[in-house]
């Protein structure tokens, strides 16, 4: 599967400045090289392959919202070092999240929860309900890994989800 970091069994580097190291057990270093973590094009390809295999179609607008929802979530929490997109309208087949876009905390959050997020595509219950999963996972992440220190993009306002 494209872009599923949980298949990479790597954990936080002990010298990380993005994580509260006191809350972490001994971990392996994050890959230094850059690579693609997720793209909207991959989301479309995965959905098409599933549909060809007999799964129900997931509308493009739902795929775009889900891609944006995960991306917005990690951007709002300072888990990225730059703003990849500012709104769902900026999400296209060319939208790419790379390893270099993520803070160390963002890498480990994405590694742990992105595949879970993708696996919920066919169980999607709307933006608010899906947001609750991200929030729950993030709270668990903070308990395990500690709170990330300062957002590199904290001066940029990323819109909150619709309530």
The neighbouring-strand residues paired with 39 are: 96
- Residue 151, in any domain of the structure: no
Residue with tokens 């070092």: 81
What does pLDDT average to in each consecutive run of 10 residues of the chain (163 residues)?
Answer: 45 41 52 96 97 97 98 97 97 97 95 95 96 97 76 49 54
- Residue 105, in any domain of the structure: yes
Question: Residues 82, 152: contact at Cβ < 8 Å?
Answer: yes
What pTM was estimated for this model as a whole?
0.77
- Residue 112, in any domain of the structure: yes
Supply the pLDDT for residue 67. Answer: 98
Supply the pLDDT for residue 118. Answer: 96
Q: How many domains are contained in the chain?
A: 1
What 3-state DSSP class applies to 34? coil
Supply the pLDDT for residue 152. Answer: 44
Q: What residues have CB less than 8 Å from 89, skipping those under 6 apart?
A: none
- Residue 6, in any domain of the structure: no
What 3-state DSSP class applies to 116? helix
Parent domain of 118: 35-145
- Residue 2, in any domain of the structure: no
Supply the pLDDT for residue 28. Answer: 59
Question: Residues 136, 10: contact at Cβ < 8 Å?
Answer: no
- Residue 56, in any domain of the structure: yes
């Amino acid at each position: 599967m494209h872009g599923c970091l949980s298949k990479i069994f790597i954990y936080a580097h002990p010298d990380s400045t993005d994580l509260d190291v006191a809350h972490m057990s001994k971990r392996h270093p994050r890959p230094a090289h850059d690579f693609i973590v997720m793209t909207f094009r991959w989301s479309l390809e995965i959905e098409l392959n599933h549909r060809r295999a007999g799964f129900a179609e997931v509308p493009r607008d739902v795929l775009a919202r889900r891609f944006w929802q995960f991306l917005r979530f990690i951007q709002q929490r300072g888990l990225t070092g730059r703003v990849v997109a500012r709104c769902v309208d900026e999400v296209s087949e060319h939208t790419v999240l790379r390893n270099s876009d993520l803070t160390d905390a963002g890498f480990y959050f994405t590694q742990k929860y992105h595949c879970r997020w993708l696996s919920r595509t066919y169980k999607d219950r709307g933006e608010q309900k899906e947001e609750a999963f991200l929030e729950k996972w993030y709270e668990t992440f903070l308990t395990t890994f500690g709170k990330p220190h300062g957002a590199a993009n904290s001066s940029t306002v990323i819109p909150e989800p619709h309530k």
